[in-house]
Amino acid sequence: MNKNNSFVNRLFMVLVFVFLYAPILLLIIFSFNAGSSNTIWKGFSLDWYQKLLHDRLIIQSVYTTILVSLLATVISTFAGTFAAIGFYAMRRRTREPLMTVNNIPMMNADIVTGVSLCLFFVAFFSQWSSFASWVNGIQSFFVLPTRLTLGFGTLLIAHITFNIPYVILSVSPKLRQMDKNLVDAAMDLGCTWMQAFWKVILPEIKPGIVSGALTAFTMSIDDFVISYFTAGTSSTLAMTIYGMTKKRVTPEINAVSTLLFVTVLILLAIINIREVRQERRRIVEQNRI
């Protein structure tokens, strides 16, 4: 497949990328618009960025989005890696049904995941409320809160739940590629299983963990539907925008989008440049040997 593409093929690819990026480019251009329209250009200004700084609602929802995505990514990367190792060490008969359950949140329609979690949380809260008032009734050392509501906590739980499967999915293949004897050898040489994990398994599966974390973060940032059903009183950026589209969307949204896009662009550029450098170094070292 070394044959290069013809001009027509290249043009087709360019058109697809234009299609993918035109709307994003528009958001960026109109974030600098002096007027409040998203269709008529009235000259350059930074007004919307300034207004954005004073918009409590949007700033708060950006904060919620980033916080929940980061927390969910960190927690699910840890939990997912341990779970993947656990699954790997299991007998096939135990592992397979568990992997099927693990695939459910990935395969299921987002709205079904969201709705089912919503139902579960609400049912749990009503049970909790009677349990808490019973506990509060029989003792007076501490007071349990009787009224729990959907909020940041449930949002975080939901995000962790749909992120872990992606981490497992990218860590598992790396585990299977690993030489099984390595762990046994480490243990024979006197490692405890914790040491075997840190010194042998972890370095082998690191690329899988990194790509799993990246996927988890992408999924968290991109999610709207599941958050919509589980966030309750707190609001992610997507939910805030969705609420606005029913009335009027302020161009501050363009400014937020631009800032987010530029941040992501810089992050990805750094990650990629680092990877390319590491690869080059590896090639150089191999040549030396």
Site for other proteins in 74-103 (CB under 8 A): 79-80, 82-83, 85-90, 94, 98-99, 101-103
Task: Give the Cα separation of 42 and 61 in Å (integer).
Answer: 29
Question: Which is closer to other proteins, CB of 135 or CB of 185?
Answer: 185
d(CA 229, CA 122): 11
- Total interface residues for other proteins by CB under 8 A: 97
What is the C-alpha separation between 233 and 210, in angstroms, rounded?
A: 32
Can you name the residues that pair with 33 across neighbouring β-strands?
A: 44
Nearer to other proteins, 1 or 289 (CB): 1
Q: How far apart are alpha carbons 250 and 252 in whole angstroms?
A: 5
In the complex, least distance from residue 172 CB atom to other proteins, rounded to whole angstroms: 8
User: Considering the complex, what minimum distance in angstroms separates the CB of residue 137 from other proteins?
Assistant: 26
Q: Please, which residue, 136 or 161, has the CB nearer to other proteins?
A: 161
Q: How far is CA 261 from CA 57, 113, 159, 241, 257, in A?
A: 20, 28, 22, 16, 6
* 3-class DSSP state of 162: helix
Tokens 């987002």 identify what position? Answer: 110
Least separation in angstroms between residue 274's CB and other proteins is 13
Per CB under 8 A, which region of 42-50, 52-60, 126-134, 268-276 contacts other proteins? 268-276
Interior/surface letters 198-214, b for 16+ CB within 10 angstroms, e for the rest? eebbeeebeebbebbbb
Q: d(Cα 22, Cα 28) in Å, to the nearest integer?
A: 10
Residues 104-133 close enough to bind other proteins by CB under 8 A: 104-113, 115-120, 123
Name the nearest CA neighbour of 116 among 104, 131, 132, 133: 104
C-beta of 135: minimal distance to other proteins in Å? 21
Nearer to other proteins, 132 or 191 (CB): 191
Contact pattern for other proteins over residues 40 through 79, marking x by CB under 8 A: -------------------------x-------------x
Residues 6+ apart with CB under 8 A from 44: 32, 33, 34
Closest approach of other proteins to the CB of residue 277, in Å: 13
Quick note: the x/- pattern for other proteins over 219-248, rule CB under 8 A, is --xxxxx--xx-------xx--xx--x---
Site for other proteins in 148-207 (CB under 8 A): 157-158, 160-161, 164, 166, 169-170, 172-173, 183-184, 187, 193, 196-197
CB of 15 to other proteins, least distance (A): 9
Please name the residue that has the structure tokens 């599941």. 226
- 230 near 158, Cβ under 8 Å? yes
